[in-house]
Amino acid sequence: MAKITVVGAGNVGATCANVLAFNKIADEVVMLDVKEGVAEGKAIDMMQTAQTLDFETKIVGITNDYSKTADSDVVIVTSGIPRKPGMTREELIGVNANIVKSVVENCLKFSPNAIFIIISNPMDTMTYLTLKATGLPKNRVIGMGGTLDSSRFKYYLSQALNVNPSQVDGTVIGGHGDTTMIPLKRLATYNGIPVSQLLDAATLDKVVADTMVGGATLTGLLGTSAWYAPGAAGAYVAESIIRDYKRLIPCCIYLEGEYGQKDICIGVPAILGRNGVEKIVDFKLNDEEKALFEKSAEAVRKTNDILKEIKAL
């Protein structure tokens, strides 16, 4: 019997819980929030779709009572503030570091064996904070960012090619920031055909640029950060773990020498299964990609350094 806790029943958390239930990924989904009644209300609302949408997953909403999250297999952390138009993800660190740290520690008390998926921003640094603050092994702390950025990359590629996103493949590695993510245009394909043979260089560069500010574009339109794709991406990561699918997913993981980096959590492709991170796929980047990855890691490290300044670590 699989149980998943989603902390934060806001836009991303509630969407994620909804997808988990609708796709029958867990038998029980617990949503926890600090706002009185919100998680409870959303859980009841979702349970009232169980008959029409045909799922058996039990969804429970709670305010602050971590005992109800006990024995979760996976904990998904979405609690914290989202960015507003004009803000970077990095600007959220002051508020979100304390929230993420206390949430993770509380969850661990009741689910000592859980695998953690961190979504709260700045996600690479929140993943690093989780790993360092808890001392958990690196296979049990996974940041979700590259999954979403890759689906945005596939969307923009599909728009340029005028095809369905499901026909396109592409990966984004590096940090989950507007200037730190690296959409790997060299490796993107349309049904196995390199997109570099189908799109001219200027169009492909525009796809990359649009992908990198994909989140900011939506924040500008919505007035807050997006939630459908982020919530679904969180559920996709959780599904690979719960069902031991061993999907190869770009996500934020602690590196110990892979891609030439150490002591950092950053986006790389990894196989996710019942043990969390089962393998990091350390493939060969070309010189341009390597340079971008190094620059990205440097920027993520700078944000990680703030954790010490604000005494979160």
Ligand X SMILES: NC(=O)c1ccc[n+]([C@@H]2O[C@H](COP(=O)([O-])OP(=O)(O)OC[C@H]3O[C@@H](n4cnc5c(N)ncnc54)[C@H](O)[C@@H]3O)[C@@H](O)[C@H]2O)c1
Site residues (vs ligand X, CB under 6 A): 7-13, 32-35, 38, 78-83, 92, 96, 99, 103, 119-121, 123, 144-145, 148, 176, 224-227, 230
Provide the minimum distance between the beta carbon of 219 and ligand X in the complex, in angstroms, as a whole number. Answer: 9
Continuous H helices in the chain: 11-22, 38-47, 50-53, 93-110, 123-134, 146-161, 201-212, 214-222, 228-242, 287-309
Q: Which is nearer to ligand X, 195 or 237 (CB)?
A: 237
Provide the minimum distance between the beta carbon of 243 and ligand X in the complex, in angstroms, as a whole number. Answer: 22
4 within 8 A of 25, measured Cβ to Cβ:
yes
Provide the minimum distance between the beta carbon of 11 and ligand X in the complex, in angstroms, as a whole number. Answer: 4
Instruction: State the CB neighbour count (10 A cutoff) for residue 305.
Output: 11
Q: How far apart are CA 199 and CA 204, in angstroms?
A: 6
Q: How far apart are CA 220 and CA 86, in angstroms?
A: 8
275 within 8 A of 157, measured Cβ to Cβ:
no
Q: Which is nearer to ligand X, 3 or 204 (CB)?
A: 3
> Which amino acids are annotated catalytic?
176
267 within 8 A of 172, measured Cβ to Cβ:
yes
Strands 189-190 and 181-183: unpaired
And the tokens for 180?
């730190």
Q: How far apart are CA 172 and CA 9, in angstroms?
A: 27
Q: Which is nearer to ligand X, 89 or 204 (CB)?
A: 89
Provide the minimum distance between the beta carbon of 65 and ligand X in the complex, in angstroms, as a whole number. Answer: 11
Q: Which is nearer to ligand X, 11 or 57 (CB)?
A: 11
Q: Which is nearer to ligand X, 61 or 276 (CB)?
A: 61
Nearest CA to 5 out of 96, 82, 68, 99 is that of 68
Provide the minimum distance between the beta carbon of 6 and ligand X in the complex, in angstroms, as a whole number. Answer: 10
233 within 8 A of 151, measured Cβ to Cβ:
yes
